[in-house]
């Protein structure tokens, strides 16, 4: 259980047994998103499949939306953790090389992580590639749109690893994440595994845009 995901809970699990129960509920939520979608997802079924009493569910989550919000935070933390590992393990010719790594990791999670195709970082999709369900653009933060939160976390990651930090970098990352989100949605509308040519176009587009902001 990551600190960010735990911060969305009604009560932070303190004991190992409680942490395991929360993780099971998040795991079953992800599987059910793939199986039945968000609208048919119920707290009762999540609790049943996670083998916890429904009262235990409500000890940790206020409702279904609270559950998927915690899952969105877990997804984002997992993505950033994998990105940090990959970036620290390679020598980048230029910081824009990080674009390819981030797009590849996102696509890999879309293909392999349960529930990620329906809800990656909070925005819940009615079908692969969209459209998004109304009211799900601020699942990670009540005041900020999901992509703004993702952009800020990604920017902080590359700056911590040594990328230049100009005054306009925060805005540039928001633009880059918004553009990548739109193109990758299109890629998964065209093909269930993500259209390879569109994924390549996404990388080229974002690399060219960020070249003026991420140079050594």
Distance separating alpha carbons of residues 84 and 23, to the nearest angstrom: 22
User: pTM for this one?
Assistant: 0.91
pLDDT in tens, 128-163: 787 889 989 999 998 999 999 999 999 999 988 888
CATH of region 3-210: 1.10.357.10
- Distances in Å between the Cα of 171 and the Cα atoms of 17, 110, 149, 166 are 42, 26, 12, 10
Secondary structure of residue 113 in the 3-state scheme: coil
CA 4 to chain centre: 12
**Residue 27 reports pLDDT greater than 80:** yes
User: What are the tokens at 206?
Assistant: 């974002």
Which structure tokens are listed for 116? 């990620």
How do the domains of the chain map onto residue ranges? 3-210
More confident residue, 201 or 17: 201
Q: What is the pLDDT of residues 80-114, one digit of tens each?
A: 999 999 998 988 888 889 999 999 999 999 999 99
| pLDDT of amino acid 212 | 86
DSSP 8-state class, residue 124:
B
Read off the tokens for 75. 């997804």
The mean pLDDT of 170-198, rounded to a whole number, is 96
- For the ranges 14-18, 57-61, 102-106, 196-200, the lowest mean pLDDT is seen at 14-18
Determine what percent of the chain falls in helix, strand and coil, rounding each to the nearest 5. 60, 0, 35
Task: Please give the Cα distance from 22 to 35 (Å, whole number).
Answer: 20
């Amino acid at each position: 259980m990551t600190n960010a995901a735990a911060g969305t809970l009604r009560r932070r699990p303190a004991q190992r047994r409680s942490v395991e129960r929360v993780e099971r509920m998040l795991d079953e939520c992800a599987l059910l998103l793939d199986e039945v979608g968000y609208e048919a997802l119920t707290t009762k079924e999540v609790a049943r499949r996670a083998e916890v009493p429904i009262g235990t569910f409500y000890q940790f989550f206020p409702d279904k939306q609270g559950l998927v919000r915690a899952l969105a935070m877990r997804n984002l933390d997992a993505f950033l953790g994998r990105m940090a590992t990959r970036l620290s393990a390679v020598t980048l010719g230029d910081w824009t090389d990080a674009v390819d790594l981030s797009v590849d990791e996102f696509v890999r999670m879309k293909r392999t992580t349960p529930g990620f195709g329906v809800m990656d970082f909070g925005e819940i999709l009615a079908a692969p590639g969209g459209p998004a369900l109304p009211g799900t653009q601020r699942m990670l933060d009540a005041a900020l749109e999901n992509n703004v939160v993702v952009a800020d976390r990604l920017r902080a990651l590359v700056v911590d690893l040594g990328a230049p930090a100009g005054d306009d970098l925060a805005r540039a990352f928001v633009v880059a994440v918004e553009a990548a989100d739109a193109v990758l949605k299109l890629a998964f509308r065209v093909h269930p595994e993500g259209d390879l040519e569109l994924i390549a176009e996404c990388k080229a587009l974002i690399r060219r845009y960020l070249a003026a902001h991420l140079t050594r």
